[in-house]
């Protein structure tokens, strides 16, 4: 067995370094690639490091098994897939080698000189360096195009973000392969340009500096600063606690002066950090469960300082063209477990944010106010935060919904940006069509954003919400160019409705829980075309129970009833969709057109067990389905939008929405059928 991905076959992955992070990187690869038969080899010249690394990995796996999160068989498979050795020759045959050795350029160059003599010329090389630019590390390689930085965050096996920093010599084929590999193994790869420290570390280490300066200036102590950081910016743990957890004092002490020379003069190593690094000190932390008392005046000073530093640092990276705004939003919030920064700025007001950053700069020499922030505040507009990513595969646009924390759920921003991307493809004579897919392997799109729905206060607003989504999906349906849904994971509610508006749908093979219209479980009916398109695609008899009971079906069942046209291996779903889109555009492949007129209504339809579901909502939905089937698609969609608003007049709508928000989707709502 092996992993076959984008024309590459991976039988073995090498990890160099068995120190703080190497074993965790090995654990990530073993966890995700062992089912494919891929072996992971960890190499280190120090036997003590190898023994410690193997013990660390084994202990982490043991905890997962003992807590019942993994079965014993899985734990044995993962540990059995990893070999710890001092023999560099064991790397022979590796399709990917990730170096996680000391942050020492001379050592890294020596390692790569040795590794290049062992591995194949087409194997990918990656460095987990925290700061060094890829061209500095890989400049002397014989094959520099196959090398890049793959920077993990603590803890490497669980933190999903991996920064992919490329040099001018890194090939697009290498970068894209690593993006897809990490996405397929559950990570969030973020592509960025080359600079010292990359994009996220200057924020992480810069925020520690801002916190340390507050302590040095006598404004607050470390425990108070951590508490205010958690309250004000949504940190999971504050800057001092985070530094303790990752053991980052020495590395940060060395990096801050480099930032000062390369990024902006404000960066420097504060005395308290240098002392902690030299003496191996840890920072004081609040005990678990203890409430930290911070005087109001102190909290205000700390809060304003932290916000000024944070928003300035985040914007600086985007201002420098190191990373795009959407990727920075995703990377910072996920890697550092903090509130999404640009969304937080929009909520606070960009003008107010500028005031905070300017105030911080006035109080701290060398801190620069990013020009991008100045211009955004001057525009009077909030930040536009991309949640869709477009990547062109020749003449086919691949549009990816990228909201991994929300399983790519559809919110207003998704609809707005999807419409923009589709219109751009429609108007571009060089593009023959588009592929729509979701980020990751779990979800194509989990449905509509329920939090937005519950904020709508009247039936007219609900109907308007429905019509807005219908217009965007009708654009996909009538683009004049093929649009293929590459269904990489589950598609519920609005996600399935989006897929059904596409010309053709293909899916990752073997999905036991794949698609469904669960709206009745929330006290509402589908509102983006589900009641009209599903019967027209699979027939009214097959659609009848799916729409009324809200239960999901597998990808195999979806193929059987004609909802999708084929199943393919997960890594192939987007490439297959691109090829299919091109074939549809040239006429090599044909798609069954959507029936836009009335469709047959059988004399009898299957009995449906509604269980606890609302009889009132079911009554509304049955009428919409049947009336819509007897008329045109356009008229049926209008019937659906009107009925979607009507649902808001029922008690069961309020009950279902409240139940979902408070208890989640697994707890059945207690409907009253009114």
Q: Which residues are catalytic?
A: 497, 519
Q: Which H or E element spans position 14? A: strand 12-16
Three-state SS string across 553-579, please? Answer: ECHHHHHHCCCCCEEECHHHHHHHHHH
- The phi and psi torsions of 147 (rounded to 5 degrees) equal -125, 145
Q: Are 314 and 342 in contact (CB under 8 A)?
A: yes
- Which of 278, 280, 306, 288 has the alpha carbon at shortest distance from 220? 306
352 CB contacts (<8 Å, ≥6 apart)? none
| CA atoms of 521 and 649, how far apart (whole Å) | 16
Which tokens sit at 544? 């009848």
How many residues does the structure list for the chain? 674
User: Starting at the edge strand that comes first in sequence, how are the strands of the sheet with 388-393 ordered?
Assistant: 388-393, 396-401, 433-438, 483-487, 504-508, 566-568
What is the C-alpha end-to-end distance of the chain, expressed in Å? 56
Give buried/exposed letters for 464-497 (b at 16+ CB in 10 A, else e).
Answer: ebbbbbbebbbbbbebebbbbbbbbbbbbbbbbb
Query: Strand, coil or helix: what is 671?
Result: coil
Distance from chain centroid for Cα 457 = 31
Distance from chain centroid for Cα 101 = 27
Distance from chain centroid for Cα 372 = 25
Strands 443-445 and 490-492: parallel
Which tokens sit at 224? 């108070």
| CA atoms of 342 and 156, how far apart (whole Å) | 25
Segments in 21-104 forming alpha helices (H): 22-33, 47-66, 72-80
Q: Are 163 and 134 in contact (CB under 8 A)?
A: no
Q: Are 568 and 509 in contact (CB under 8 A)?
A: yes
Whose structure tokens read 């790569």?
112
């Amino acid at each position: 067995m092996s992993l076959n991905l984008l024309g590459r076959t991976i039988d073995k992955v090498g990890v160099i370094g068995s120190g703080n992070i190497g074993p965790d990187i090995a654990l990530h690869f073993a966890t995700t690639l062992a089912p494919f038969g891929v072996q992971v080899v960890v190499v280190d010249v120090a036997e003590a490091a190898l023994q410690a690394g193997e013990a660390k990995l084994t202990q982490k796996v043991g905890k997962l098994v003992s807590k019942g999160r993994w079965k014993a068989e899985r734990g044995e498979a993962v540990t059995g897939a990893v070999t710890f050795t001092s023999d560099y020759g064991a790397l022979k045959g590796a399709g990917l080698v990730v170096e996680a050795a000391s942050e020492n350029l001379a050592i890294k160059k020596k390692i790569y000189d040795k590794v290049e003599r062992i591995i194949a010329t087409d194997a990918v090389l990656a460095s987990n360096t925290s700061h060094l630019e890829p061209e500095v590390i890989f400049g002397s390689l014989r094959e520099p195009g196959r090398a890049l930085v793959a920077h993990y965050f603590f803890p490497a096996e669980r933190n999903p973000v991996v920064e992919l920093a490329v040099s001018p010599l890194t090939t697009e084929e290498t970068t894209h392969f690593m993006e897809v590999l990490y996405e397929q193994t559950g990570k969030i790869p973020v592509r960025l340009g080359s600079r010292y420290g990359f994009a996220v570390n200057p924020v992480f280490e810069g925020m520690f500096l801002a916190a340390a300066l507050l302590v040095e200036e006598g404004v607050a102590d470390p425990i108070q600063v951590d508490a205010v950081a958690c309250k004000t910016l949504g940190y999971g743990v504050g800057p001092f606690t985070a530094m303790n957890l990752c053991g980052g004092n020495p590395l940060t002490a060395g990096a801050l002066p480099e930032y000062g020379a390369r990024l902006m003069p404000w960066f420097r190593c504060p005395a308290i950090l240098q002392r902690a690094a030299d003496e191996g000190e840890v920072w004081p932390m609040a005990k678990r469960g203890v409430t930290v008392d911070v005087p109001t005046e102190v909290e205000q000073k700390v809060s304003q300082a932290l916000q000024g530093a944070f928003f300035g640092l985040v914007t600086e990276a985007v201002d420098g063209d190191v990373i795009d705004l959407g990727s920075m939003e995703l990377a910072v919030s996920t890697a550092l477990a903090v509130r999404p920064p640009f969304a937080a700025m929009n909520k606070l007001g960009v003008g107010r944010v500028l005031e905070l950053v300017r105030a911080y700069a006035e109080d701290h020499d060398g801190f620069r106010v990013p020009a991008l922030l100045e211009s955004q505040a001057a525009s009077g507009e909030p930040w536009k935060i991309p949640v869709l990513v477009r990547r062109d595969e020749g003449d086919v646009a691949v549009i990816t919904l990228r909201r991994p924390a929300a399983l790519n759920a559809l919110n207003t921003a998704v609809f707005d940006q999807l419409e923009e991307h589709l219109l751009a493809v429609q108007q571009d004579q060089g593009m023959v069509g588009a592929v729509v897919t979701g980020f990751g392997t779990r979800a194509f799109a989990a449905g509509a954003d329920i939090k937005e729905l519950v904020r709508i206060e009247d039936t007219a607003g609900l109907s308007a919400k429905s019509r807005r989504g219908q217009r965007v999906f009708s654009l996909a349906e009538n683009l004049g160019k093929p649009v293929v849904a590459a269904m990489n994971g589950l598609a519920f509610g609005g996600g399935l409705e989006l897929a059904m508006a596409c010309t053709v749908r293909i899916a990752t093979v073997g999905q036991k829980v794949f698609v469904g219209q669960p709206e009745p479980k929330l006290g509402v009916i589908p509102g983006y075309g589900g009641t009209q398109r599903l019967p027209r695609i699979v027939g009214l008899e097959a659609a009848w129970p799916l729409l009324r009971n809200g239960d999901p079906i597998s990808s195999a069942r979806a193929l059987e009833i004609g909802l999708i046209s084929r199943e393919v291996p997960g890594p192939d779903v987007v490439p297959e969709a691109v090829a299919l889109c091109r074939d549809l555009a040239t006429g090599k492949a044909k798609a069954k057109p959507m029936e836009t007129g009335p469709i047959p209504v059988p004399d009898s339809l299957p009995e449906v067990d509604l269980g606890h579901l609302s009889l009132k909502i079911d009554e509304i939905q049955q009428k919409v389905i049947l009336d819509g089937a007897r008329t045109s698609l356009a008229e049926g969609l209008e019937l659906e939008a009107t009925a979607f608003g009507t649902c808001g007049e029922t008690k069961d709508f309020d009950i279902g929405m409240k139940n979902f928000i408070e208890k989640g989707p697994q707890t059945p709502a207690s409907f009253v059928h009114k």
